[in-house]
Amino acid sequence: MLAALAALLAGGCGSATAPTPPPPTEDPPQITCPAPQTVQLASGAGSIAVPYAPTVVNGKAPVTTTCTPPSGSSFGLGQSTVTCTATDALQRASSCSFAVTVTAPVVPKLTVTRFVSFGDSITAGENGVDGGPNTSGLCQPMITSTAGIRQRVILPAAQTYPGQLQAQLSARYTTQSPTVVNRGCPGEYANPLNGNGSTRARFDAIVSTGQYDVVLIMEGSNDLFEPVWSDPVGMAASALRSLVGDAKATGVRPLLATIPPMNPAGRRGRGATLVPSLNDRIYQVGAAENLAIVDVYAAFNGNLTLLGDDGLHPTAAGYTVIANAFADAIKSRLELKTTPTLTRFKRR
């Protein structure tokens, strides 16, 4: 009897089942926000769209992610806080926040604003057609006789290189009022042997007035028409260096430029072969005077269609090329960029 009971108890212990373990559970979601972002408004814009995407790991699918404000929202000037939350199927949530800072556009400003362009008929804005209005007024001061000045067509002021340059400067430096005064004198030579009087005296009379901060010098094309001179290139280069020195002495900053190309097929393009030589000497003047040269010649890139029929004077498009060359030089050498004070606010 006792043996049977022991056997029954032994068999019952052997058939017992282990408890069922609980089902595995995913870790709760974890969200990580992007690093703080700083973006800059475009000029004239009041806001800017900013995209962003947090990263999420773990959580029981499906895991939904929301950000307030949503990615791609527009932000105005200042600092805002973005909060993002990840929620899984078990309603477990993880949140994070980061800052979006919008800065004002950089407002370019010039260190100086008063410019005067000095040169010959190319500076004056001739288009190479004879028979236009008398241009002697552009040669003031110092030149009072108009006997040697031929009447030629001057383009409207807005199409000359000084006129186009002023328009470009005014459009870029909107918080200032830059001016570019045209003092081109048709028929003028760089060296002292010109027929319209003393170029240097005219130059000195202009830069010594105290009215200008920078003088733009592009002179010497007419000198290349004088084969009777033993060294027209050297004489022109020497004269240009004198102008640079005089400008420095009066506290006016000189921007010296190479001269444009000439088209030998034009009736006034006979100095074309000497243009590269003069421009090489202009670079030598720049090296000696520690000046970076405004390379107008290179800006034409050999495109002689930018010259008028006479082979000497640019077309309106050619004058745009000259204006662009000077504008680039002014931007790189005379621009001071400032950022307005940041106004901070919180998004509601």
pLDDT the model gives residue 246: 97
Instruction: Give this prediction's pTM.
Output: 0.73
In angstroms, rounded to a whole number, what is the distance separating the alpha carbons of residues 155 and 24? 86
Banded model confidence at residue 4, pLDDT cuts 50, 70, 90: low
In angstroms, rounded to a whole number, what is the distance separating the alpha carbons of residues 66 and 56? 11
According to DSSP, the residues that pair with 55 across neighbouring strands are 32
**b/e map 165-198, b = 16+ CB within 10 Å:** bbebbeebbeeeebbbbbbbbbbbbbbeebebbe
Report which secondary-structure segment, H or E, holds 101: strand 93-103
Alpha carbon separation from 186 to 195, 303, 326, 339 (Å, rounded): 11, 23, 20, 43
Banded model confidence at residue 348, pLDDT cuts 50, 70, 90: very low
Whether 138 and 124 have beta carbons less than 8 Å apart is answered as yes
Domain 108-336 has CATH 3.40.50.1110: yes
In angstroms, rounded to a whole number, what is the distance separating the alpha carbons of residues 332 and 300? 19
Residue 120's closest CA among 264, 2, 220?
220
In angstroms, rounded to a whole number, what is the distance separating the alpha carbons of residues 345 and 326? 41
Rounded to 10°, the helix 161-172/316-334 angle is: 40
Report which secondary-structure segment, H or E, holds 164: helix 161-172
pLDDT the model gives residue 227: 59
Least confident segment among 184-193, 288-297, 306-315:
184-193
Residue 184 reports pLDDT greater than 90: yes
Q: For the chain, what are the domain ranges?
A: 26-105, 108-336
pLDDT in tens, 97-139: 999 999 988 889 999 999 999 999 999 999 877 655 545 456 7
Report which secondary-structure segment, H or E, holds 203: helix 199-207
Report which secondary-structure segment, H or E, holds 11: helix 2-14
For residue 170 the two structure tokens come to 């005014």
Q: Assign residue 87 a region: left if phi > 0, alpha if psi is -120 to 50, beta otherwise?
A: beta
In angstroms, rounded to a whole number, what is the distance separating the alpha carbons of residues 153 and 131? 6
Banded model confidence at residue 225, pLDDT cuts 50, 70, 90: confident
pLDDT in tens, 255-299: 999 999 999 999 899 999 999 999 999 999 999 999 999 999 999
For residue 141 the two structure tokens come to 């001061």
User: What percentage of the chain has pLDDT greater than the value 90?
Assistant: 71
For residue 216 the two structure tokens come to 């733009």
pLDDT the model gives residue 144: 46
Residue 340 reports pLDDT greater than 60: no
pLDDT the model gives residue 325: 98
Architecture of domain 26-105: Sandwich (2.60)
The mean predicted confidence, pLDDT, of the chain is: 87
pLDDT the model gives residue 345: 39
Residue 211 reports pLDDT greater than 90: yes
pLDDT the model gives residue 11: 53
pLDDT in tens, 16-62: 566 776 665 789 999 999 999 999 998 778 899 999 999 999 999 99
